[in-house]
Amino acid sequence: MDYRQGRTGRIFTIRFDEGDDFLKGLLEIVRNEQIRQGWFQVIGGLRQAEFVTGPQEPTMPPEPVWASVEENSARETLGAGSIYWDGDEPKIHLHAALGSHGQTTTGCVRKGTRVYLILEVFLVEIEGIEAERPWYEKGGFNRLTFRD
């Protein structure tokens, strides 16, 4: 375990509309505003997404199990995520519950996101911490790493 104490920076309230590419749009805001680290929550709907629902087996590195929300469907969405950079690229880590008609799937949302109706995002910038999310070879993923 490793941790640091920081403080709240700027706070952003963001609305994504029907058909918007959520992950692409969030990355655009992060780059434009130079948000080096942050925490966000999402609530609303997705009509399309590709996400990981877990590993095939609990090994390192894990072999991911992929699932998707198809373009012509809709899922109520509630999730939380973080933002840290790997060099010149911001990395988003978002886990969300996506549900429809009482059936819910939870996963790590990775790509191909299109909004259904509306998706609201509450983004809090974190200041006073030097951290990044570089590639972690042993685990096969980008891992939160603190810099002193």
Residue-wise pLDDT for 84-121, tens only, equals 999 999 999 999 999 999 999 999 999 999 999 999 99
Domain count, the chain: 1
pTM for the full predicted model: 0.94
Establish if 34 belongs to a structural domain.
yes
Establish if 1 belongs to a structural domain.
no
Establish if 29 belongs to a structural domain.
yes
Summary mean pLDDT of the chain: 96
Structure tokens at 133: 């999310």
Helices (DSSP H) in 1-146: which residue ranges?
22-33
Q: Is the pLDDT of residue 71 over 80?
A: no
pLDDT (tens digit per residue) in 7-38: 999 999 999 999 999 999 999 999 999 999 99
Q: Please tell me the distance from the alpha carbon of residue 78 to that of residue 16, in angstroms, as a whole number.
A: 14
**Are the CB atoms for 47 and 69 separated by under 8 Å?**
yes
CATH code of the domain containing 133: 3.30.1330.80
Establish if 2 belongs to a structural domain.
no
Domain that holds residue 129: 9-146
Establish if 55 belongs to a structural domain.
yes
**Are the CB atoms for 65 and 76 separated by under 8 Å?**
no
Establish if 3 belongs to a structural domain.
no
**Cα-atom radius of gyration of the chain, to the nearest Å?**
16
Establish if 39 belongs to a structural domain.
yes
Establish if 14 belongs to a structural domain.
yes
Which of 28, 27, 22 lies closest to 48, judged by CA?
22
